[in-house]
């Protein structure tokens, strides 16, 4: 079983301007593979096709709202309701991570979180401090954090680097979440990208706060050895309940293969492998627990041979 907790879902030109996607993915070959590929498929069909190709059972798909930080409110924006359209393609294959840009309207954000979760069964919410130019320590955000605690929904949060030029690095440091942990120790937090390159800092806050977790989105980029060693170090220090497999769109294919090669990597490095029980936690159980997903066995096609 594999659950991928970090996948963006949107349509090129409609939700993401081409210039934005090209800026974002240029360092990774300049393509957002399956946004450009298979143009006749809908977003949902394309993601199911990809899941079947690489052997993923469920994807947690996410929105974003970066309108406010670009001139004329023209930044990328995927409305939360679009996720319902994507999910309708294959309801067993998707879990929904909504998002708000809290500084468009704090109280409106609180209402939107409540609407998505109570009326539409969203599983999580994501905040993007760097992309949306805010400091997560800002106390004006308290009503948003309070609502997530009240509804017992995890907050996934972009931390760490992005190639996006309009995303200030000063809001990318995992230590900024220490204050959030202190004020809302019950809030379940998933720090995206292990906060790279501030991995040590991320490890420190995750070790400190019981309800803090990490995802490994875009670590396909770093290769199996570096990822294995980081996974093992965080797992050994913080416990294996804190790590979630997540790929990031352009890295999905390589990320799955990389995590599946961890046994070989351990052999090569001459260190103890990660136990099968702990690998299961990383690959799906932790995300299933946090996002409250009850995955159905047998939903994916038997992949590769049939679909390649």
Candidate ranges 174-182, 242-250, 269-277, 295-303; the one touching Zn ion (CB under 5 A)? 242-250
Minimum distance from residue 253 beta carbon to Zn ion (Å): 15
What distances in angstroms separate CA 118 from CA 93, 123, 147, 242, 254, one per listed residue?
20, 10, 12, 26, 35
Residue 91: phi, psi to the nearest 5?
A: -55, -30
Candidate ranges 140-148, 195-203, 244-252, 270-278; the one touching Zn ion (CB under 5 A)? 244-252
Q: How far apart are CA 141 and CA 158, in angstroms?
A: 16
Candidate ranges 33-41, 228-236, 240-248, 256-264; the one touching Zn ion (CB under 5 A)? 240-248
Measured from each CB, the residue nearest to Zn ion is 248
Q: Which of residues 190-209 bind Zn ion (CB under 5 A)?
A: none
Minimum distance from residue 213 beta carbon to Zn ion (Å): 15
Size of the site for Zn ion (CB under 5 A): 1
3-state DSSP helix/strand/coil percent for the chain, to nearest 5?
50, 15, 35
Q: Kind of pairing, strands 58-62 and 64-65?
A: unpaired
Rg (CA), the chain: 18
Looking at the Cβ atoms of 57 and 248, the one nearer to Zn ion is 248
Candidate ranges 110-118, 136-144, 147-155, 248-256; the one touching Zn ion (CB under 5 A)? 248-256
Looking at the Cβ atoms of 5 and 203, the one nearer to Zn ion is 5
> Which of 230, 219, 215 has the alpha carbon at shortest distance from 286?
215
Minimum distance from residue 224 beta carbon to Zn ion (Å): 20
Site residues for Zn ion per CB under 5 A: 248
């Amino acid at each position: 079983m594999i659950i991928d907790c970090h996948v963006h879902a949107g349509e090129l030109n409609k939700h993401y301007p081409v210039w934005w996607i090209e800026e974002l993915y240029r360092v990774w070959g300049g393509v957002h593979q399956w946004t450009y590929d298979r143009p006749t498929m809908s977003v949902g069909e394309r993601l199911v096709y990809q899941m079947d190709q690489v052997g993923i059972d469920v994807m947690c798909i996410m929105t974003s709202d970066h309108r406010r930080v670009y001139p004329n409110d023209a930044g990328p924006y995927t409305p939360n309701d679009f996720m319902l359209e994507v999910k309708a393609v294959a309801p067993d294959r998707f879990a929904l991570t909504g998002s708000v840009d809290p500084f468009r309207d704090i109280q409106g954000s609180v209402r939107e979180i409540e609407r998505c979760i109570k009326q539409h069964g969203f599983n999580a919410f994501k905040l993007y401090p760097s992309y949306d130019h805010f400091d997560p320590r800002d106390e004006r955000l308290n009503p948003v954090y309070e609502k997530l605690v009240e509804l017992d929904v995890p907050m996934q949060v972009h931390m760490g680097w992005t190639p996006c030029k309009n995303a200030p690095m000063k809001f990318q440091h995992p230590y900024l979440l220490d204050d959030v942990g202190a004020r809302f120790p019950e809030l379940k937090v998933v720090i995206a990208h292990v906060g790279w390159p501030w991995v040590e800092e991320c490890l420190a806050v995750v070790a400190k706060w019981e309800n803090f977790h990490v995802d490994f989105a875009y670590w396909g980029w770093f290769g199996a050895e570096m990822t294995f060693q980081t996974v093992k170090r965080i797992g050994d220090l913080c416990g294996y309940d804190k790590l979630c497999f997540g790929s990031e769109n352009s890295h999905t294919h390589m990320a799955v293969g990389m995590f599946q090669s961890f046994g070989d990597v351990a052999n090569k490095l001459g260190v103890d492998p990660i136990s099968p029980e702990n690998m299961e936690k990383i690959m799906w159980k932790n995300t299933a627990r946090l996002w409250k997903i009850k995955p159905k066995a047998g939903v994916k096609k038997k992949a590769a041979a049939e679909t390649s």
